[in-house]
Structure 1
Amino acid sequence: MGQTPEFKRHRRLRSSHAMRAMVRENHLRTEDFIYPMFVIEGENIKNEVPSMPGVFQVSLDLLKGEVEEVYQLGIKSIILFGVPNEKDEVGTGAYVEDGMIQEATRLVKKEFPDMLVVADTCLCEYTSHGHCGVIHNHDVDNDESLKLLAKTAVSQAEAGADIIAPSNMMDGFVAVIRKALDDAGYHNIPIMSYAVKYASAFYGPFRDAADSTPQFGDRKTYQMDPANRIEALREAESDVQEGADFLIVKPAMSYLDIVREVKDNFNLPVVAYNVSGEYSMVKAAALNGWVNEKELVLEKLTAMKRAGADLIITYFAKDVAKWLSE
Structure 2
Amino acid sequence: MTRLTNLIGVTLGAGLAAFAVAAQAEDLVVSNWDGYMAPDAIEKFNSATGNSAELVLHATNEEIMGKLIASKGKGYDVVFVSSPFAEILNNLGLAETLDHAKIPNIANLYEDATVLKHDPGNAFSLPYAWGTTGLCYRSDLVGKTPDSWMDLLEPSEALTGKTTMLATDRWMMAAGELALGYSVNETDQAKLEEVRDLLIKAKKTLLAYDDTTFYSKLVTGEAELVQAWDGWCNYGIGENADIKYIVPKEGSDLWVDTMVILKNSEHKDAAYAFVNYILDAANHRWAAENILYKVPNKAAMDGLDPSLVETYPNLGMTPDELLAHEQLRDLGEAQRAYSRIVSEIKAAN
Band of TM-score, shorter chain: under 0.3
Higher RCO structure (Cα 8 Å, ≥6 apart) = 2
TM value normalised by structure 2: 0.24
